[in-house]
A = this chain, B = another copy of it.
Amino acid sequence: MKYAAGVDVGGMSVKFGFFDEGGTLLAKSAVPTKVEEGTVYLLDSIAQQIKKMAQELDIALSDIVGVGVGVPGMVLEQNFVVHCVNVPFHATCVGSELNERLQVPVFVANDANLAALGELWRGSGRGVRDLVLYTLGTGVGGGIVIDGKIVSGCHGAGGEIGHMPVLETPRERHCGCGGTRCLELVASATGIVAETVKYLAEHEEPSSLRSVPPEALEAKDVFDAAEAGDEVAKTMIDQLGRHLGRATAIIASVLNPQRFVIGGGVSHAGELLLEPVRHYFKEYAFLSTAQTEICQAMLGNDAGIYGAAKLAWNE
């Protein structure tokens, strides 16, 4: 019996999962990232945890076909991590460093791209060959799988959907990347709040959202208020649906994938979010692409370890 391990490196913790070829999660664990300890510590602790889990599962390292590793940054083809956000991998060849420590093949990719691969393997994308995943959280991440393979792009920027300059009218706020037209500025949790605060300041309409101090407002409050019938909140969710629906229609004209999957914290709003996205997508989409399914992600925070393990199986 052979196994693959999936690793998902985040700013706070590193998640681990062991999988068989069918995609059954045999065990999972997590260790703190401890970014302040630096690169070597992080590489050592990842290798150590994999050895520890293998021992607990009674799996010989020689029965591991590969270890997939997702990192929050840009990865070039040779498993070379150019730069990460919040994680001390900069110009680090994570692939060969871990391979040296484990003597097992190691494959590194961007975490959002791996989440897309994970959803395709064992989540909302089961049965399809291509899928585009949005992760709507503090920012907007994305991952693209075409014909079963991740589209990582020549600078490692494939699937950077949150930074599509979809806004013709720039915002005054700047995106983390410096842009003023990014989808992230209006479709992330932060963006939803900022757009709502601005709307409330510029309009006189009564709204239950006015009882929350602007600095304490969260995206969830806007969804809750919309569900309770608040007109301002409904307007904001409608605008969010319009931006995401148009962005989705744009991607459908470019790639015409089989499925769109929406994950991340904001996606917990469920149909309250999906319904307006589907509505505007159908309005804007090119001909038959309007039939493309848009659904909610299934694997939550585990998508990354699933995708990382699948990458190891694929290679």
Which of A43-51, A52-60, A89-97, A287-295 forms part of the interface with chain B?
A: A287-295
Find chain B residues with CB under 8 A from A255 CB. Answer: 144, 151, 153, 158, 254-255
A241-272 interface bits toward B, Cβ cutoff 8 Å, 1 = contact, 0 = none: 00000100111111111100000000000000
Inter-subunit contact B254/A179 (CB<8 Å): no
Inter-subunit contact A159/B254 (CB<8 Å): yes
What is the chain B residue whose CB lies nearest that of A167? B168
Inter-subunit contact A249/B165 (CB<8 Å): yes
Contacts A284-B179, A287-B177 known; A251 to B254 CB distance under 8 Å? yes
Inter-subunit contact A165/B257 (CB<8 Å): no
Contacts A253-B157, A254-B144, A254-B161 known; A179 to B246 CB distance under 8 Å? no
What is the chain B residue whose CB lies nearest that of A182? B286
Within 8 Å by CB of A177, from B250, B258, B286, lies B286
Within 8 Å by CB of A155, from B74, B159, B291, lies B291
A124 shortest CB reach to chain B, Å? 16
Interface size on A, residues (CB 8 A): 47
- Inter-chain CA distance A158–B151, complex, in Å, is 15
> Can you show 15 pairs from A to B with CB atoms below 8 A apart?
A151-B256, A154-B256, A154-B257, A156-B256, A158-B254, A160-B256, A160-B286, A163-B286, A164-B253, A164-B254, A165-B246, A165-B250, A165-B285, A181-B284, A250-B250
Say if the beta carbon of A211 comes within 8 Å of chain B.
Answer: no
